[in-house]
Amino acid sequence: MVGKASHPIGATDYASPLLQAQSSGAKIVALANAGQDMATSVKQGQEFGLAASGQRVLSMITTINDIHGLGLASAKDTLVVTPFYWDLNDETRAWSKRFADRMKGQYPSMMQAGVYSSVLHYLKALEASNNSNGDAVVSKMKEIPTNDPLFGIGKVRSDGRKIHPMYLYAVKKPSESKYPWDYQRLLQTISAEDAFRPPSPECPLNGSSGPLGSGAR
């Protein structure tokens, strides 16, 4: 990292932090904001010519709904990291089209996909454990692999962290989009092992000694 700049939540003018980033010489300008702050930052970054100066803008928290709201003309070439994109493979496409049919043409974000995946895994663990006790179900959730059409096969670690691949995408230019919600171009698949830091031995949820004591919840 060559530097960082902060801004107040809900600002409308991001000239100062963006120009600081532009003059820093950084190859990647990473936005650690979300929602309207992120959208305005991306739009003003295009206006200030960050991409034209050879820099890439990476939005760390972006949903497909954010891209839809911005439009490809404003969001083009922005890098996004996500665990889910509706157009990744045949399974994600089939599920997402059923979702869109029920949601008046709106395609699912990574957050909506995550809710579906987590609830499905909980219900599978509930059935497998044959026990509605919370501790028993959580234990079974960590024991059996996660498996659904959206994230594929994964696992819940001993510390409760869900492990799955992550994907680096670039937002398409308007000329590259061939059909509705065709917004992202896959650049790299990041393995689950590389995407998440290893469990901390100090985490009390790991059953190790920690600030809350051994085995504390």
pLDDT in tens, 107-157: 999 999 999 999 999 999 999 999 999 999 999 999 999 999 999 999 999
Q: Please report where in the chains the tokens 């820099």 appear, as a residue.
A: 55
Domain ranges of the chain: 62-206
Does the pLDDT value for residue 211 go beyond 90?
no
Q: What is the pTM of this model?
A: 0.87
pLDDT tens sequence across 11-68: 999 999 999 999 998 999 999 999 999 999 999 999 999 988 889 999 999 999 999 9
Q: Identify the residue with better confidence: 207 or 6.
A: 6
3-state secondary structure 151-206: CEEEEECCCCCEECCEEEEEECCHHHCCCCCCCEEEEEEECHHHHCCCCCCCCHHH
Radius of gyration, CA atoms only, the chain: 20
**N- to C-terminal Cα separation, the chain:** 35
pLDDT number for residue 66: 96
**What length does the chain have?**
217
